[in-house]
């Protein structure tokens, strides 16, 4: 899965990006997500129907292909509004603003689902590195580091008491064929899964549904044949 060298040295690009993302952003905003959704729900009681989905849904495309506008990525996804802003003074910046956007996701039956969703922004750095000759970062490096980013972030968040129950990681590999509603289907799968999990908990039952989404054990990370750090390649982008 992940090379033993990578686990020990902790010097990978992805490892640093995951920790920076957590310390500098997620640890700040995630503990406030449910409170913001609670506030929004009081003002809009018919929108956020399922409390179990009151989380920040973080998209982790292993291709590192991040859209600035989700509506352009998938026409079944529509921006609804922003949740209440969190304003803090950080690193000498007065009144730095943190906020999340709510989106409406239309399913195949034209039913509307709502959730807070955004991309894991460090993936933009991985993508940019694979496009910059100075970084000597190949497409293969990018995929390996994207997988390691997801695995590292997953482990960090699982150990974080402050962030428990406030997020949902959605890691996925886009198919080679053009699918106009691939992303909305990925998000909908997670929303429905959370709803079923909550319902089963309420009923006192255990779910036995197969997991069809990517997990850390399914990321097929290549194991290095050497204990020594491997050089980044620049053989193609």
- Chain center to CA of 216: 13
d(CA 103, CA 93): 29
For helices 139-158 and 122-131, angle between their N-to-C axes, nearest 10 degrees: 160
Q: Residue 128 has which token pair?
A: 């940019």
Contact 166, 34 (CB under 8 A): yes
Q: In the prediction, which pLDDT does 83 show? A: 93
Contact 193, 115 (CB under 8 A): no
Q: In the prediction, which pLDDT does 203 show? A: 47
Helix (H) / strand (E) element for 192: namely helix 182-203
Q: In the prediction, which pLDDT does 225 show? A: 39
List the pLDDT tens digit at each of the 237 positions of the chain.
555 554 444 457 888 999 999 999 999 999 999 999 999 999 988 888 788 899 999 999 999 999 999 999 999 999 999 998 888 877 778 888 889 999 999 999 999 999 999 999 999 988 888 887 766 677 888 889 999 999 999 999 999 999 999 999 999 998 666 678 999 999 999 999 998 875 554 444 443 343 445 655 455 554 333 333 333 333 333
Q: In the prediction, which pLDDT does 197 show? A: 73
Identify any residues that bridge with 79 across adjacent strands, giving them in sequence order: 103
* Residue found under tokens 């700040």: 28
Q: In the prediction, which pLDDT does 178 show? A: 67
Distances (CA, A) of 196 to 74, 201, 208, 215: 25, 8, 11, 18
CATH superfamily of 8-206: Stimulator of interferon genes protein (3.40.50.12100)
For helices 139-158 and 13-21, angle between their N-to-C axes, nearest 10 degrees: 40
Distant-in-sequence contacts of 205-209, Cβ < 8 A, 24+ apart: none
Domain boundaries defined on the chain: 8-206
Contact 135, 129 (CB under 8 A): yes
Predicted TM-score (pTM) of the model is 0.79
Beta strands in 17-75 (DSSP E): 56-61
């Amino acid at each position: 899965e992940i090379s033993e060298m990578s686990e020990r040295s902790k010097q990978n690009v992805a490892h640093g990006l995951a920790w920076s993302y957590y310390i500098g952003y997620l640890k700040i905003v995630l503990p406030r997500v449910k409170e913001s959704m609670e506030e929004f729900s009081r003002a809009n009681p018919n929108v956020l129907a399922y409390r179990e989905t009151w989380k920040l849904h973080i998209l982790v495309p292993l291709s590192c292909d991040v859209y600035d506008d989700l509506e352009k990525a998938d026409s079944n996804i529509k921006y609804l509004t922003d949740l209440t802003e969190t304003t803090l003074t950080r690193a000498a910046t007065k009144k730095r603003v943190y906020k999340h956007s709510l989106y409406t996701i239309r399913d195949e039956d034209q039913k509307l689902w709502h959730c807070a969703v955004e991309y894991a922004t460090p993936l933009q750095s991985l993508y940019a590195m694979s496009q910059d000759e100075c970084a000597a970062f190949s497409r293969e490096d990018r995929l390996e580091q994207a997988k390691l980013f997801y695995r590292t972030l997953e482990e960090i968040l699982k150990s974080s008491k402050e962030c428990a129950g406030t997020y949902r990681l959605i890691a996925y590999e886009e198919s080679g064929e053009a699918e106009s509603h691939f992303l909305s289907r990925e998000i909908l799968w997670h929303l429905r899964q959370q709803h079923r999990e909550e319902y089963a908990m309420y009923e006192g039952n255990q779910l036995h549904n197969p997991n069809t989404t990517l997990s850390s054990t399914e990321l097929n990370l290549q194991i290095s044949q050497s204990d020594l750090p491997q050089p980044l390649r620049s053989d193609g982008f």
